[in-house]
Chain A
């Protein structure tokens, strides 16, 4: 049996807690961007999913994603339902120096935040009942299989050699593409609203950045050997560079450096470095950050032209940022950083870009098709949108019977 390493275990316990914080942080990031009559519902979307997927994951989600392959590299089996057999001894297939149950808990936090990311697309107009069903179905039918494809033993993209250190495809492309599809199918808000509290958004982005150290550096699954440190450094560098880039581009484009833009840019940089964080050096991370700040800003400018009401630009930041990051991993990866990875195009291995493109395309198509099916099924059964007068009233009052701010 592999021996548990106390340093690795400590680091992963801390990282798990760091990633947990990201989901409520996302609630604050999104909560500041919506109107003040929808802030509680937006916060609730994140907090509720933390509760929901925490239970779903231990009951069947982890088994579908990480238990032995049930066939074709597409999905895990049910042998680990309710954590049967997932104990304190390490599982060398995933992490040989920490308890298997800790690896499960770390992965749980990824499963939690991914559907929460989508909620920015349909903010301010969906019924809570529909949302609860959507979150459960999406986590089970989209996230769990994708996690198996990329990270599960026997998963077909893992076997193919796709590099995704911390979730560029599994987390960000899947949520970003699903956000776009959901926004198209659910339709536009009756009336768009201005961000009601930018301070909340900047605080949320800051806490996301903080938690992302657990997300990426924790994905080294060990505190030793330098990989976690490298992932930490490139994560911080890419976020910083993307924040600077978005601010600069918005300054050139609109005449003033945008505060929301800097926060969104940092998040875009964090998204883009996620798949690459265990494979690229610091120069690679600067270029990835520059690309994220530029490409995601450009994608956001498409929203009015596409007439898709992805309310909080989930597709632009996570879908496009994740796609850029996944492709950039194929460009800038080097075995000098991670001998278990592969070299990318800039280090003489053009084939890695092809593999990354296959992973990106497969994730786009699967997430889009499955999300369309889930949204349609929910829409014809319980209805996805609230009634018009409920939307006008705001979701806080109409869905939860509470309001965020009482001003005398």
Chain B
């Protein structure tokens, strides 16, 4: 179980490294305009 727990956390960290963060788009601009 300890190994599974360690692997679970490691998996998350790997995901943060490999998952691209979507860049700002039209929807982002609309969100800001809505809040203004």
Chain A interfacial positions (CB closer than 8 Å to B): 241, 244-245, 248, 251-252, 254-257, 281-284, 286-287, 290, 332, 346
Contact = CB atoms under 8 A, between A and B. Distances in A.
B4 interface: yes
B7 to A, nearest CB: 10
A287 B22 contact: no
A243 B5 CA distance: 15
A308 to B, nearest CB: 26
Contact of B8 (A281, A282, A287): A287
A287 B1 contact: yes
A283 B4 contact: yes
Nearest to A289: B8
B33 interface: no
Interface string B1-36: 110110011001001100111100000000000000
A286 B9 contact: yes
29 contacts: A241-B8, A241-B9, A244-B12, A248-B12, A248-B15, A248-B16, A248-B19, A251-B15, A251-B16, A251-B19, A251-B21, A252-B19, A254-B22, A255-B22, A256-B22, A257-B21, A281-B1, A283-B1, A283-B5, A284-B1, A284-B5, A286-B8, A286-B9, A287-B1, A287-B5, A287-B8, A290-B8, A332-B1, A346-B1
Contacts of B8: 241, 286-287, 290
A287 B4 CA distance: 7
A346 B19 CA distance: 33
B19 A283 contact: no
Given A248-B12, A255-B22, A287-B5, 8 more contacts: A248-B16, A251-B19, A282-B5, A283-B1, A283-B2, A284-B1, A286-B5, A346-B1
Nearest to B21: A256
Nearest to B22: A255
A248 B8 CA distance: 12
B33 to A, nearest CB: 14
Which 5 residue pairs are nearest across A and B when measured between Cβ atoms? A255-B22, A286-B5, A283-B5, A283-B1, A290-B8
Nearest to A257: B21
B16 to A, nearest CB: 7
B15 to A, nearest CB: 5
Quick one: which of B2, B8, B16, B19 has the most chain A CB within 10 A? Answer: B8
Contacts of B1: 281, 283-284, 287, 332, 346
A290 B2 CA distance: 14
B10 to A, nearest CB: 11
A52 to B, nearest CB: 36
Contacts of A346: 1
A282 B9 CA distance: 13
A244 B12 CA distance: 8
A93 to B, nearest CB: 34
Quick one: which of A284, A290, A332 has the most chain B CB within 10 A? Answer: A290
Nearest to B23: A255
Contacts of A282: 5
Nearest to A194: B34
Contacts of B16: 248, 251
A332 B16 CA distance: 28
Quick one: which of B1, B15, B21, B22 has the most chain A CB within 10 A? Answer: B1
B28 to A, nearest CB: 9
B3 to A, nearest CB: 9
A326 B16 CA distance: 30
Nearest to B25: A255
Nearest to B3: A283
